[in-house]
Amino acid sequence: MSGRRRILAAMSGGVDSSVAALLLQREGWEVIGISMDLYDFSEVTKDRAGTCCSLDDLYDARRVCDALGIPYYVLNLRDEFRREVIDPFVREYATGRTPNPCILCNEHLKFRALLRKADELGAEGVATGHYAVIRREEGRCRLFAARDASKDQSYFLFSLESERLRRIRFPVGEMTKAEVRKVAEVAGLPVFEKKESQDICFVADNSYAAFINRSGVQEKEGLFLDGAGNVLGVHKGVLRYTVGQRKGLGIASKEPLYVVAIDADKNEIVLGTEDETLSAGATAGRASFVAGAPPAAEFRAAAKVRYRHPGVGATVRVRGDRLDVRFDAPQRSVTPGQALVLYDGDEVLGGGWIECANVSRS
């Protein structure tokens, strides 16, 4: 033991996690680089551009650790990734929902499995390149949006409670992306110009339906209906559609049509006008709060119904582990399976998973 405080740096092979490790080292931490081996990406495609966690990314992470002079390890989490991320992803799509696997990966892999590994290695916690801010107060930790709003990732972290946040560091949360790249360039890190990952790592070419089909879920053609139950046409399978979708419907209409609802049990998809995608509110399940409990049984918050949603004022009623959320103004394409995340200004209060939207006819 060196006597310095030890921390694991989760290394994705990108510039953000690389700079996070560098900044920790400069602060005097004993940094151990670690990457997660999550999936056999040879099953996906040889071209991994735009995704994360490929073999090329592991190679880049090792190069950065070599440049920093810190140890580097790869942790095999393939079984856990399949159980906690891929299997729920497949189940949700098969029931007509649109899941967000990145949130589950953060919760179960980065900030649960890696914290267990930190315990094994005698480390205080885990650091990542997430754009979010943790503020430590006596007795608790609070989670806030990043300084760089265009890169903010706090939405994906809503399920992290204060006790776990105590052991987590986000060194780049107060920086802009341009600042991060500049630090990496000046330090001579080999990934300072590397492009960002965008797509879901285990799905090739954004072809969710093909991936789910290979996972054993079969689909068949069904009916497109309007809100009154009239048949509008035939769809190719519910896996290929999501609430709010307009393109690729193949239905001739005087005005644009959108997916309003998906009933996987009946193999039916309801189409409507853009106004028919409006929802006055939503019900969310599996609610959790950063502080461990909601502010009150009923409270005001800004609700984000998907990543990049600007947020809307809302009244939230807590009923056990469920949230009944009423928006101040109707919102478009509130999608079952997505996370509904609650904010007080820049602070993340918590959230839940959208079960259904309350349709507005206004």
Count CA atoms within 13 Å of residue 322 on its CB side.
Answer: 6
In a domain, 338, yes or no: yes
Give the end of a domain, one of 234, 253, 272: 272
CATH number for the domain that contains residue 341: 2.40.30.10
Q: Which residues pair with 353 in a beta bridge?
A: 285, 339
What is the per-residue pLDDT across 273-322, written as a single tens digit (0 to 9) for each? Answer: 999 999 999 999 999 999 999 999 999 999 999 999 999 999 999 999 99
Asked whether residue 170 falls in the same domain as residue 223, the answer is no
Catalytic residues: 105, 201
Residues 101 and 189 in one domain: yes
213 belongs to a structural domain: no
Structural domain includes residue 311: yes
Model confidence, pTM: 0.92
- Asked if residue 147 and residue 33 are part of one domain, the reply reads yes
pLDDT at 257 (0 to 100): 96
The answer to whether residue 305 is domain-embedded is yes
- Is the same domain home to 166 and 268? no
Contact between 233 and 322 under an 8 Å Cβ cutoff? The reply is no
User: Is residue 214 in a domain?
Assistant: no
293 in the same domain as 263: no
pLDDT tens digits, one per residue of 192-230 = 988 877 667 788 667 788 888 888 888 899 999 999 999
Do 40 and 182 have their domain in common? Answer: yes
pLDDT of the residue at 44: 53
- The verdict on 90 and 174 lying in the same domain is yes
Q: Distance (Å, rounded) from C-alpha 22 to C-alpha 172?
A: 10
Tell me, yes or no, whether 33 and 108 share the same domain: yes
212 inside domain = no
* Among 272, 292, 310, residue at a domain's last position: 272
Give the domain extent around 162: 6-205
Predicted confidence at residue 194, as pLDDT, reads: 87
Residue after which a domain boundary falls, among 205, 239, 261: 205
CATH number at residue 198: 3.40.50.620
Within a domain: 342? yes
The answer to whether residues 246 and 281 belong to one domain is: no
CA distance 237 to 231: 15
224 and 320, same domain (yes or no): no
Say whether both 261 and 178 belong to one domain: no
Percentage above 90 pLDDT, the chain: 82
210 falls within a domain: no
Per-residue pLDDT tens listing for the chain (362 residues): 456 899 999 999 999 999 999 999 999 999 999 999 998 766 555 454 445 667 788 999 999 999 999 999 999 999 999 999 999 999 999 999 999 999 999 999 999 999 999 999 999 999 999 999 999 998 899 999 999 999 999 999 999 999 999 999 999 999 999 999 999 999 999 999 888 776 677 886 677 888 888 888 888 999 999 999 999 999 999 999 999 999 999 998 889 999 999 999 999 999 999 999 999 999 999 999 999 999 999 999 999 999 999 999 999 999 999 999 999 999 999 999 999 999 999 999 999 999 999 865 44
The enclosing domain of 243 has a CATH number of: 2.30.30.280
- The number of domains in the chain is 3
Secondary structure of the chain in HEC code, one letter for each residue: CCCCCEEEEECCCCHHHHHHHHHHHHCCCEEEEEEEECCCHHHCCCCCCCCCCCHHHHHHHHHHHHHHCCCEEEEECHHHHHHHHHHHHHHHHHCCCCCCHHHHHHHHHHHHHHHHHHHHCCCCCEECCCCEEEEEECCEEEEEECCCHHHCCHHHHCCCCHHHHCCEECCCCCCCHHHHHHHHHHHCCCCCCCCCCCCCCCCHHHCHHHHHHHCCCCCCCEEEECCCCCEEEEECCHHHCCCCCCCCCCCCCCCCCEEEEEECCCCEEEEECHHHHEEEEEEEEEEEECCCCCCCCEEEEEEECCCCCCCEEEEEEEECCEEEEEEEEEEECCCCCCEEEEEECCEEEEEEEEEEEEECCC
Q: Are 184 and 289 in the same domain?
A: no
Query: What was the pLDDT predicted at 51?
Result: 53
